[in-house]
């Protein structure tokens, strides 16, 4: 698919529209919900991995393969970060397994 100036302008328009929409949506979320929102959005970000794999598999030369590989690496890292943040958040809501005597010794009574 040849890249023309019109294709670039349409891609830039979509990027700017997505950035504006993201800013408006995030600015209306209370700050206490930012961590769960980021966790969920990182997890959903797995679609980036699918897109990067698509680019990587359809690449015909070395620069395209490098860009696809970097995209897969960043997407996978982002998904992994989403899992880690979600796990840490869920750990905060688990009841403590320490016995009351241990808590008293630790000074957490």
- How many Cβ atoms are within 10 Å of 48's Cβ, its own excluded? 16
What is the Cα–Cα distance from 49 to 22, expressed in whole angstroms?
Answer: 20
Mean pLDDT of the chain, nearest integer: 81
Closest residue by Cα to residue 47 from 72, 28, 23, 26: 72
Within 8 A by CB and 6+ apart from 35, the residues are: 85, 89
* Contact present, 75 and 54 (Cβ < 8 Å): no
* pLDDT tens-place string over residues 65-102: 998 899 899 888 888 887 887 788 778 877 777 666 66
pTM, whole model, 2 decimals? 0.55
Give the largest CA-CA distance in the chain.
71
Q: Mean pLDDT over residues 38-65, rounded? A: 83
């Amino acid at each position: 698919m040849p890249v023309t100036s019109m294709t670039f302008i349409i891609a830039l328009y979509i990027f700017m529209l997505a950035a504006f929409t993201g800013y408006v949506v995030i600015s209306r979320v209370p700050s206490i919900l930012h961590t769960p929102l980021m966790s969920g959005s990182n997890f959903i970000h797995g679609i980036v991995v699918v897109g990067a794999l698509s680019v990587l598999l359809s690449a015909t030369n070395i620069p395209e393969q490098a860009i696809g590989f970097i995209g897969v690496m960043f997407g996978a890292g982002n998904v992994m970060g989403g899992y880690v943040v979600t796990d840490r958040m869920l750990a905060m809501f688990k009841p403590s397994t320490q016995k009351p005597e241990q808590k008293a010794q630790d000074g957490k009574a």
